[in-house]
Amino acid sequence: MDLIKQNIVGVLGLIALCVAIPLPPGLLQNVINVLGISALIIYAWQGKNTFFFYLESVVLLGTVLQIASVSSEITWTALILSFVVIVLRILQNPGYRNFMTAIGFTGLFGLVFGYATLNPIGYAIGGICCACYSFILFKQGIKSGLLFALLNIIYGGLAIYVIFK
């Protein structure tokens, strides 16, 4: 029970995003997605999981830009700039300067590409790489990595399904 209490915000965010998947596009789905992503940002922040705090922030930015129907040029620019700033910010910490973080950055870039182009290949690459990176973090003792691995397996799997459908 303590595990659930410690992770309730993340679990609620994950549940919200899973609930939103089958909903028809529109206001209800958008609100649930924004709330779910926001809960995951809070969860990452509470757990001091810097990488996923920034990753979910980019996901929130991409989602909001999609909801607002912002032009593709502005979306690309905002997401690429966010990616560059995040990479520079994360690499300031020497603990992140390793091969495993490169997997995480590949996942983050896949998600940026997916949001910027609405291409399921980007979402699939992002989901798979982020799931791998999440699992690596979990194995290193970062408990929130398990929830993020599950989330990215679901979304990466959904993107793969869309590709092959």
Confidence check: pLDDT of 80 > 60: yes
Q: Of 90, 162, 85, nearest to 123 (Cα)?
A: 162
6-25 mean pLDDT = 93
Is it the case that residue 1 has pLDDT exceeding 60? no
Residues 123, 2: Cα–Cα separation, whole Å = 33
Tens-place pLDDT, residues 20-39: 999 999 999 999 999 999 99
pLDDT per residue as tens digits for the range 93-107: 999 999 999 999 999
Q: Does residue 165 have a pLDDT over 90?
A: no
For residue 143, what pLDDT is reported?
86
Average pLDDT over residues 37-44: 96
3-class secondary-structure state, position 22: coil
pLDDT digits (tens, 9 = 90+) for 50-73: 999 999 999 999 999 999 999 999
Mean pLDDT of 4-11: 84
Rounded Cα distance between 21 and 96, Å, is 32
- Quick one: pLDDT band at residue 4, thresholds 50, 70, 90? low
How far CA 40 is from CA of 94, 113, 122, 151, 165, in Å, comes to: 25, 21, 21, 10, 29
Categorize the per-residue pLDDT at 48 as very low, low, confident or very high, splitting at 50, 70 and 90.
Answer: confident
Characterise 31 by phi-psi region: left (phi > 0), alpha (psi -120 to 50), beta (else): alpha
5: its two tokens = 């209490």
